[in-house]
Amino acid sequence: MKFDRRRFLATLGAAAGGAAASRLVGDGWLPEFVAPRVARAAGASPFRGFVLCYGMQHLCAHQMRFVPKGEDREKFNLDRYNFRETGKLPETGGGYVVDLKDSGLDWPEPIRAIVDAPFNVPAEYITIIDGLANSAMHIERDKFGTSATSHAWSQASVLTGGPALNSLGTPSYPDVAWRIHEHLARQQGNSYQLLGFDTGYNRGTHQAENFFGQPSAAFDPNDGSQTLSNRLELGLQRPSRIWDDVFRDRSYPDGSAPKVDPLKQARPQTVRAVIERYKRLLGRVKIQYDQDRLAQQIARLEQLYQDTQLPAPISQQCSKPTQPPAPTEGTYVQELMAVGKMIAMAFACDISRVAGVHFRMPNAGVLENLKDYVFRFADGTSETVRGDVHNIHAHASSASRREDHTDAEWNEAHRVMRLYNRSHCEYVAAIASELHRTSDPLSGKSLLDNTLIVLTAELSDGAHEVNDRMMVLVGKMPGLNTGKYYRFPAVNPMRVDNIIRNYLHYAPYQDIAQFYITLMQAYGMTIDRIGPTEYKGDGKLANRSGTLKELIA
């Protein structure tokens, strides 16, 4: 005899009209369809674009680093450098922050490509976060082998979203991106697509996987379904292919789409039908409490139905492409800009205001050579690569230490990495440039003002490092102090060959997890900790909390 109906009904009675009603309703029906319409009708823009870009294993932070003019970037030692008193990071107590509009610093070559002609993205849209450590993204040893090398490799994968992710359940950058995507889509009524899933990493083994163990997916704002499957691989693809990926078979509520799905068009009518069923049920319940909550349910469904009848959130000013770009090849810059233009158009048309993009080079797998591959660049030059230098550069096992290679091998490795970096940055520059050039019909500013492109990688000074990493942000978002160079004092003694011994033991360096938390909080998510909370290698929790306070506006 565990309960008393009278007490139960009394309890429900107290709650009737409030929480009790939600027991019947739930909020899982058509929210993605309705929210954009409601927001649009209210004159608000819930949309914040978010683009994830990452060039796995090919972005060398030390080559991207800002240094005082005149300093040798390769030999620059932060420990001995105190930039200026006023620039000290107040919360961190070390490092420095510089406004990039007048930095007095020497822009590194790859990033400079974004702000220089022909892309001309204003410096205020560039943010560099330098000197981050990675302590929360730990790997449980028994899940991923026992050798230091495999730990190093898996650390790298976890950070950048490599194939290790599925087996670990540990947050990684793509995982964070996924959470942001989903949050924006579900909570703010945005649409999202996850695009470009091929990791390009050990492709022979992992090509079929994406980070999340499921097909590329997207929300369709027409009905909130997750039925679309697009991929956008910004490798060296033809614009026509990208047009196909972005626009093909997409449907538009305004009826101007190349193809309209009658099911999605009609689905809101199911709300109407279900309302009528609820009205019928009302005649069958005998308790006032049920009558009350059914009436509330019906009222909510009526509101939901009315919301479905609001105009679609597609901007009237949106200029959707009606046909793919001409398949003829233009200059390399024109090709790049075509890519950027299509992404900008997709954003402007609310097709994919949130997207993940992965840069991928053909034949860029670890075990494959870039033999005779030709990098092209926006200035019209090109350079040929004789072979992949990944192992020379990125693995600090005994076969890959600097002293094991000739100067020629080492210099060639660095040259190739510079080519990667420059190439990736030019892609980012093209996208950012077009986003900046395109007016956001919902906010009145440029699309880049509501978009954040994040470029990251896991090579620091050459090896798969867990310390001294860099994030390059292009764009803006409310809540973040952008347009600056943050150099955190990540003097991290940890090296690849002693990860197992030490990786849980170093704090309090500014952590990539804290960057993620900062980012996610800025996007409105409730999160204060990243990383596994149960594993306590050597008695220490491996997760991290806190934010990078200087980044928060």
The residues that touch other proteins, with contacts defined as CB under 8 A, are 1-14, 22-30, 225, 262-263, 266-267, 269-270, 272-274, 276-278, 280-281, 283-290, 294, 297
Q: Which helix (H) or strand (E) holds 473?
A: strand 469-475
Q: How far is the CB of 3 from other proteins (least distance, A)?
A: 6
CB of 27 to other proteins, least distance (A): 5
Of residues 308 and 514, the one with the C-beta less far from other proteins: 308
Compute the least distance from the CB of residue 16 to other proteins, in Å.
8
Give least dist CB 282 to other proteins, A.
9
Convert 10-39 to b/e letters by CB count within 10 Å (16 or more is b).
eebeeebeeebbeeebeeeebbbbbbbbbb
CA distances from 124 to 68, 128, 196, 198, 304 (A): 19, 11, 28, 32, 42
Least Å from the CB of residue 12 to other proteins: 7
> Please, which residue, 281 or 507, has the CB nearer to other proteins?
281
Q: Which is nearer to other proteins, 2 or 75 (CB)?
A: 2
Task: State which residue, 214 or 288, has the beta carbon closest to other proteins.
Answer: 288
d(CA 419, CA 341): 24
Q: How far apart are the first and last CA of the chain?
A: 57
- Closest among 356, 432, 431, 358 to 177, alpha carbons compared: 356
Rounded to whole angstroms, the Cα distance separating 478 from 552 reads 9
How far, CA to CA in Å, does 196 sit from each of 363, 370, 472? 16, 21, 19
Considering beta carbons, is residue 14 or 41 the nearer one to other proteins?
14
Query: Which residue, 27 or 249, is less far from other proteins as judged by CB?
Result: 27
If the CB atoms of residues 183 and 203 are measured against other proteins, the closer one turns out to be 183
In the bound complex, what is the minimum distance in angstroms from residue 387's beta carbon to other proteins? 48
How near is the Cβ of 429 to other proteins at its closest, in Å? 40
Question: CA–CA separation, 263 vs 464, rounded Å?
Answer: 49
CB 382 within 8 A of CB 374: yes
Q: What does the alpha-carbon distance between residue 110 and residue 119 come to, in Å, rounded to a whole number? A: 13
For the CB of residue 209, give the shortest distance to other proteins in the complex, in Å.
23
- Nearer Cβ to other proteins (75/286): 286
Which CB sits closer to other proteins, 14 or 42?
14
Tell how strand 67-68 and strand 105-106 pair up.
Answer: antiparallel
**How far is the C-alpha of 367 from the C-alpha of 390, rounded, in Å?**
8
CA 78 to chain centre: 29
Residue 325 CB neighbour total at 10 angstroms: 18
Of the pair 149, 226, the CB lying nearest other proteins is at 226
Dihedral of CA 364/370/372/375: which sign? positive
Look up residue 330 and give its two tokens: 């233009």
Provide the phi-psi class of 200: left if phi over 0, else alpha when psi is between -120 and 50, else beta: left
Run of H or E including 373: strand 373-376
If the CB atoms of residues 4 and 85 are measured against other proteins, the closer one turns out to be: 4
Count Cβ atoms within 10 A of the Cβ of residue 328 and give its class: 0-12 exposed, 13-18 middle, 19 or more buried: exposed
Report the chain's C-alpha Rg in angstroms.
26
CB of 495 to other proteins, least distance (A): 39
The residue (of 1 and 553) whose beta carbon lies closer to other proteins is 1
Shortest spacing between CB 540 and other proteins, in angstroms? 22
Q: Choose between 28 and 70: whose C-beta lies nearer to other proteins.
A: 28
Tell me how far apart the alpha carbons of residues 207 and 251 are, in angstroms, rounded to a whole number. 29
Q: How far is the CB of 193 from other proteins (least distance, A)?
A: 19
Helix orientation angle between 288-308 and 5-15, rounded to the nearest 10 degrees: 30
Q: Could you give the CA distance from residue 521 to residue 284 in angstroms, rounded to a whole number?
A: 47
